[in-house]
Structure 1
Amino acid sequence: MTTTVNPPAPVLAHEHAPRMNLAEQAPEFYRAMLRLEQEAAKGVDPALYHLIKIRASQINHCAFCLDMHTKDALAEGETVERVVQLAAWQESRHFYTERELAAIALTEAVTVLTDGFVPDEAYAAAAEHFEEAELARVIAAIVVINSWNRIAVTTRMVPGHYTPRSR
C-alpha cells in the first residue's frame, strides 16, 4: 500500500494591522463619502462601475478595494476572465466593449494624471460613447473610487475579509 504524503501548506506572510478605522474617527466624513458613492453610482451601468472601481484600484495598488470590488463584480455576474484581463486591458481589448474601453482609458487618465491633465484623446473617446450627463456620472465614479483608494491605502485597510452583500 502506497501512502500519499501531502506537502505542508505554505506559511503565508503576516497580515498587517490597519492604521486606523476612519469610519470611527471621522464618522461624518465617512458617511458623506458613502453618500457620494451612492450619488456617483446613479445612472452608471453597474458592470461598468465595477470595471472602473477595479481598474482604478489596480493602478492605486489598493488591495482592500481590489478585494471588495472584484468580489462584488464576480458576485453580480462578471466573468473571472474579464476581471483578470483588466490589468492588461490594452492587450485584451476583445474582452470589452468600445464603451467600456473608453471608460477604462478615462479611468486611467484621471487616476494617473502624470502629465497634470487628462489628455484630450481620452476625454474625446469617452465623450463619443457617453451622453454628457452619463459622462459626468462616469467621471464622478472615477473620482469617488480614487478617493476611497486613498483612504484605504493611507489607513491600511486589510484585504481578504470582505464578503459581498447579498442583493
Structure 2
Amino acid sequence: MSASLPTLGAVRVVPADLHDPRVAVLLAEHLAEMEPTAPPESRHALTLDQFRVPGVRLWVAELDGELVGSVALKEVGSGHLELKTMRASASVRGLGLGRALLTHALAEARASGARRVSLETGVVPAFDAARALYASAGFSPCEPFGSYHPDRHSVFLTLEL
C-alpha cells in the first residue's frame, strides 16, 4: 500500500522483512521508548523473535528508504486480532502516519475475515495521542482480553468490524 501524506509525501506500508537490519533497529527503538512508560510486567511490546511466531504479522512504513513506522496484528482467537507495535518514529509524528498505519491494519483485519480488533496501550501522557487516534477510529474501552489481566498501567480498547 502506498499513501501520500500531505507533509510526508509517498509512504509505502509493506510486510516487514524480519531479516532486514532496519526492522531490528525500528523494533529496538520501540522497546526503548516503551521502557520508561511502565514497569516491565506492564509493558507488552513484542520483540523481533516474537514476530517470527505464526499468527503475528508486521508491516513497516517506508519513506525515502527509511523505516518510519510499524503496525502489527496478532491472532487472539477465532475472528479476534490484537493491534500491536503501532508506532510512528519521532521524526514523523503528528503528520498522519499513525492514522495511515491504523487504516492499513484495519483493512488487513477486515480482509482476513476478523470480526474484532482489540489493543492494549498505556495510560501515561505519552500515549494520549494514540488513545485519541484509537477513539477517533471507533475503538471503545473493554475488559482485558486474551492473556491480559487488569493492570493500572494499561487501557484495553476494542473495535467490532
| Structure 2 length-normalised TM | 0.28
Q: Which has the higher contact order (CA 8 A, sep 6+)?
A: 1
Structure ranking higher in strand proportion? 2
| Structure 1 length-normalised TM | 0.28
Structure ranking higher in helix proportion? 1
Determine which structure has more spread, i.e. the larger CA radius of gyration: 1
